[in-house]
Structure 1
């Protein structure tokens, strides 16, 4: 059907109006959607990867895991040659037994000294009794000598006997003191021996720990990666043998521009899209905000006080936990790039500006008050 000349003249105007309405409607929908979402494609999957290293030196005799193998916490990964560790443990245990026997010897000597002290004390009592008897004889013969019934020679003999008895008392007392001092020395020796026994016990525990550490176990559950250890290899403390990646505990770190942080809050819902899972949308929530921008943690921090300054929008890492309920895939690999969309309409807790204000103030530090509209 042919169009009238007037309609043909107005056709471009009609098409232009329709196109304008379509553009306006699309722009309006885009603007409304933009108000409800904050998005970024600067996001990556991460995990708290554990690097497994030996704590003792030794030669690897057995590797019990393969690349990309799933392991449980406590599972044996690597065995080192334990011959030296077993020998040191046996030596430490023998040394401990010798020191324990030495303590027993000191105890036996101490018991013997107590018997000798009792004997010396009895000797002191006997010598004192003899001395008392000798002094009584001297007094009795002294009265008889005054009456003329005893000769001077007998009197001198009794006095010499009394002096001898007193000397015997002093000798017995000196022997008793010597035995008591010997007992005190044995007590000090016993304390030293007990300290040596405790030191030997510590050496045994240290040797047993070193033996246990020749068996390297998985500290966490996960999947083995970056395995560089091989049988026959000599390893030392601190050398990296392998890594364990907990795939079931991966999370997303999204780097949002500082101009996007105003409406972000803890707990807000997040939609996650990964190129590795086309057509699938994962769900999560905002878990925490980094305490500084990414440039602050760089190996070479940016120095803006030199040369000409150009303002660059900074990015702040935001940690997002993945909701693993409802049968969502849990095979996110660390390093994968993802795109995240934060639903600003979802309920949330503290905002980015509020997080960290509850940190305790240092004593004497000034409090910085921030005026809020």
Structure 2
């Protein structure tokens, strides 16, 4: 009898089990992560930040804390307004806008005919007064001769009066003795009286001749004064003729020209402006809290907004005698109403150290960022403080 057969045990299959479409595939195994690279980078960045901070701190301690800067700074130049001294019509303009000129160059010419006519009239007046002087001097010579004649007549009349007086005195006692008659004595008396009258007339004539000489000499002095006045008028007119040509008072460039040919101008009429671009300077308006260590002569670094690639240098030249508010048209009055403290600004004049080529590019009115190095004064102050404590 055979034994009952049993079913063989299932053999595990090596074929992978196919998952159903709805089941998600299992996540692949992750490889072991490599060492993190961010830590060294962060470490390097930290070290760099520390070094940068240390360098910045050292620079600030040594330099930065002594640098006072402001962007409230503008280039300026002492411009000159060109105006005529005389009235007239413009006949010629010699320059163009923005043209460079030298001192003494002609800029504008005015009509000079009326001033030339006045000059000729003044010259004629001088000649007329000189002729009056010559005529008066000739009259003086004639009057001096008449005066000499009058003096001679006075002397003659004096002698005649003396003789007549002596004769009268000599014959007067003889009348009492009867040696001569009364008629003879009367004739002598009459002769004496006539001699007195003649002497008085001659003396009056002499005085009149002397007076005429003095009067003529006064006329000569008056004519000489008139000559001087006419000569002064001629010189003034000559100046007016020269002033019909308006010339440049300084070296510079022509700007703001408003003059035209045919224009009638009066003395003081603004024709144009001369800007001395080679003498440009800087005015920086620092806060009052920034000027404590500033002194004249300290170095300045300049950055012109119009020339970003150019670094200029300068030096502190002087300080304004007051804040900008003190010179305002309507200065503030802090003694009335509510008080609000506002930081004031002090204009500081800075000399620009640049060559002629650079100065041609520096125009008045350009904005500038200014940095003043006050280390020299700070070092001196610290040394002085150390000496006092020692």
TM over 0.5: yes
| Per-residue deviation, 1:227 | 0.8
Pick one of 159, 166, 171 that aligns with 1:136.
166
Q: Does 1:312 align with 2:312?
A: no
1:66 and 1:117 mapped to 2: Cα distance?
72
**Paired residue for 2:60?**
31
Which of the two has higher C-alpha Rg?
2
Query: Could you tell which deviates more after superposition, 42-51 or 91-100?
Result: 91-100
Q: Does 1:218 align with 2:251?
A: no
Question: CA 1:212–1:2 in 2, change beyond 3 Å: closer, same or farther?
Answer: farther
Residue 161 of structure 1 aligns to a residue in which SS?
A: helix
Q: Does 1:329 align with 2:358?
A: yes
Pick one of 40, 55, 67 that aligns with 2:97.
67
Residue 354 of structure 2 aligns to a residue in which SS?
A: coil
Q: Does 1:209 align with 2:239?
A: yes
Residue 40 of structure 1 aligns to a residue in which SS?
A: strand
Is the 8 Å Cα contact of residues 86 and 266 (structure 2) preserved in structure 1? yes
1:54 and 1:185 mapped to 2: Cα distance?
46
- Taking structure 2 as the reference length, what is the TM-score of the superposition? 0.81
Query: Could you tell which deviates more after superposition, 20-29 or 247-256?
Result: 20-29
Q: Does 1:88 align with 2:118?
A: yes
Q: Does 1:253 align with 2:283?
A: yes
1:279 and 1:43 mapped to 2: Cα distance?
18
Is the 8 Å Cα contact of residues 294 and 377 (structure 2) preserved in structure 1? no
2:187 and 2:151 mapped to 1: Cα distance?
28
Is the 8 Å Cα contact of residues 299 and 315 (structure 2) preserved in structure 1? yes
RMSD of aligned Cα (Å): 2.8
**Paired residue for 1:244?**
274
**Paired residue for 2:14?**
none
| Per-residue deviation, 1:277 | 2.4
**Paired residue for 2:324?**
294
1:94 and 1:241 mapped to 2: Cα distance?
35
Question: CA 1:340–1:113 in 2, change beyond 3 Å: closer, same or farther?
Answer: same
| Per-residue deviation, 1:117 | 1.2
Structure 1 gaps, min length 5: 352-372
Aligned length: 348
Residue 289 of structure 2 aligns to a residue in which SS?
A: helix
1:53 and 1:209 mapped to 2: Cα distance?
15
Is the 8 Å Cα contact of residues 303 and 368 (structure 2) preserved in structure 1? yes
Pick one of 272, 297, 305 that aligns with 2:302.
272
Structure 2 gaps, min length 5: 1-31, 382-388
1:136 and 1:305 mapped to 2: Cα distance?
105
Is the 8 Å Cα contact of residues 282 and 328 (structure 1) preserved in structure 2? no
**Paired residue for 2:133?**
103
**Paired residue for 1:363?**
none
| Per-residue deviation, 1:141 | 3.4
Is the 8 Å Cα contact of residues 293 and 377 (structure 2) preserved in structure 1? no
The CA deviation string for residues 277-325 of structure 1, in whole angstroms up to 9 with x for no partner, is 2322111111100111112222222233344332221111111111235
Is the 8 Å Cα contact of residues 275 and 338 (structure 1) preserved in structure 2? yes
| Per-residue deviation, 1:250 | 0.5
Is the 8 Å Cα contact of residues 269 and 346 (structure 1) preserved in structure 2? no
